[in-house]
Structure 1
Amino acid sequence: MTFSHDPVEEVARALAASGLLLRGGFSLGEDEAAPAGLSGAPARSILLIGQAGPAPWPHFQRWRERQARDIANPLDSWSREVIGAVAKEFGARAVSPSDRPYLPFQQWAMRAEGLKPSPLGILMHPTYGLWHAYRGALLFENGLGLAEPHAAIHLCDTCVAKPCLKSCPVDAYSGQGFAHEICLGHVRGPHGATCRTAGCLDRNACPYGTNYRYPADVQAFHMAAFAGL
């Protein structure tokens, strides 16, 4: 693919039409293990794609209105469609966090933006806080001249109170990790109405990135997907 301008800017512009963001990227050295690109040759550059706040939501909702109501994993399907179209435009291979076998998206994201995990496992962003997500990646078989990202400020290191570990009524997050079954049982149960309608209480307790917090209907959508409701 020959770009008329800066390839990163061109990809970012194409994604913006659907409310998605280019979330950084990096180049792979010849001695690094690399996933296959579009032709099957090793990828040499990876661009991460995601969102900050609820920007994609109106685009997703308009798309969803045209789909069968019982479509499985609608947000994943929308993301694949949008990112796949951008990949086709720029001669890249599109991949998703839900692809099997799983690709190391968490490690890619940490490398692409220099982020570290919060106590909840979600990567902490210095601007977006916990209100962001990764929806896919573009794999290019040619180098894009990407500089290695610098480490970002990790806000969790400056947070003494850690309200994200004190707000869940069933203490789903602890030093032992995420108690998935306990959380799931609570969200599905008679006392989980607030979580179902307003989202994870621990996540909402985080004081950072609140300008990007997902609205209640977006959080309810994600919680329903998590709980299988």
Structure 2
Amino acid sequence: MTAPSADADKTIETIRAALAPHGLFLRGTVNFEAGEAAPLLADGRRAASAVLIGNIGGSLWQPFAAWRAALPDGGGADPLDTWSKAVIQPIAAKEGLTAYFPSDPPWQPFQRWAMRAEGLKPSPLGILIHARYGLWHGYRGALAFDGPFPETGARAEAHPCDLCVEKPCISACPANALADERFDVGLCRGHLRSEAGRAGCLASGCRSRESCPVGRNYCYPLEQLRFHMAALSL
């Protein structure tokens, strides 16, 4: 589907309205340059643009939790990925678009797209930090177009980590997994499987993530914190 400028606003609002009940938002646009290794559309052509879809704070948790509770198997082994596809794929099909997901091959560079679309950068935890939402946001998928698309998200003017002197996220980690300002997933998982980790981060959320002063009002609800930490501990 080509999204000419005359129809772009209508297309944006249609997608936004379809995503809203699920707590998902349009997070930013990437317009690919000529000759760039853009993702393929369903018909084999290269996409001209991609619009990122994601959550802000705990916006998706209640819709996701309700969907999961209604299923006998709770959504299977990867319920959040399954739910994301169940929400986004019908929207893509209705609009004649191609959908991409972080969990699916061929794996698309979602972090690079997000950095480009919203002007973000990685925090010491590896999570992209947003000037407003802090570490409390995520990307659940993307919709690709065969034409250029208007910007749908605001770009950050400054990176919070560049302005942070004390770096509380590093000192708060009980596993010392950020000692070199680089997240050591092995140390983190080892701690989560220990008695102290099960009683601490696994039960109430990542101490490092919660210590960041940026975007505190967008912190995930406890159930969502536990869900993500349980997934990380596997």
TM-score band, normalised by shorter chain: over 0.9
Match in the other structure for 2:54: 50
Q: In the alignment, is the contact (CA less than 8 A) between 2:130 and 2:156 conserved in 1?
A: no
* Deviations 1:170-201 (CA, angstroms, capped at 9, x unpaired): 21113262221111011011111211111110
The answer on 1:200 being equivalent to 2:206 is yes
Q: For 1:27 and 1:108, locate their aligned partners in 2 and report how far apart those are by CA, in whole Å.
A: 10
Task: Describe the SS at the equivalent of 2:105.
Answer: coil
The answer on 1:123 being equivalent to 2:133 is no
Q: For 1:83 and 1:147, locate their aligned partners in 2 and report how far apart those are by CA, in whole Å.
A: 17
Q: In the alignment, is the contact (CA less than 8 A) between 1:83 and 1:136 conserved in 2?
A: yes
Q: For 2:195 and 2:10, locate their aligned partners in 1 and report how far apart those are by CA, in whole Å.
A: 53
Could you tell me the percent identity over the aligned residues?
46
Q: In the alignment, is the contact (CA less than 8 A) between 2:28 and 2:151 conserved in 1?
A: no
* Matched letter for residue 222 of structure 2: A
Worse-superposed segment, 60-69 or 141-150 = 141-150
Worse-superposed segment, 66-75 or 49-58 = 66-75
Match in the other structure for 1:216: 222
Q: In the alignment, is the contact (CA less than 8 A) between 1:7 and 1:144 conserved in 2?
A: no
The answer on 1:139 being equivalent to 2:144 is yes
Q: In the alignment, is the contact (CA less than 8 A) between 2:169 and 2:209 conserved in 1?
A: yes
Q: For 2:61 and 2:151, locate their aligned partners in 1 and report how far apart those are by CA, in whole Å.
A: 29
Q: In the alignment, is the contact (CA less than 8 A) between 1:115 and 1:152 conserved in 2?
A: no
How many pairs does the alignment contain? 228
Q: In the alignment, is the contact (CA less than 8 A) between 1:111 and 1:149 conserved in 2?
A: no
Task: Give the Å deviation of 1:90.
Answer: 1.4
**What RMSD, in angstroms, separates the aligned Cα atoms of the two structures?**
1.9
Q: For 2:61 and 2:153, locate their aligned partners in 1 and report how far apart those are by CA, in whole Å.
A: 31
Task: Describe the SS at the equivalent of 1:191.
Answer: helix
Structure 1 unaligned regions, length at least 5: none
* Deviations 1:143-162 (CA, angstroms, capped at 9, x unpaired): 22448975531011111111
The normalised TM-score by structure 1 is 0.93
* Matched letter for residue 36 of structure 2: E
Q: For 1:180 and 1:17, locate their aligned partners in 2 and report how far apart those are by CA, in whole Å.
A: 34
Task: Give the Å deviation of 1:8.
Answer: 2.4
Q: For 1:185 and 1:17, locate their aligned partners in 2 and report how far apart those are by CA, in whole Å.
A: 37
Larger helix fraction of residues: 2
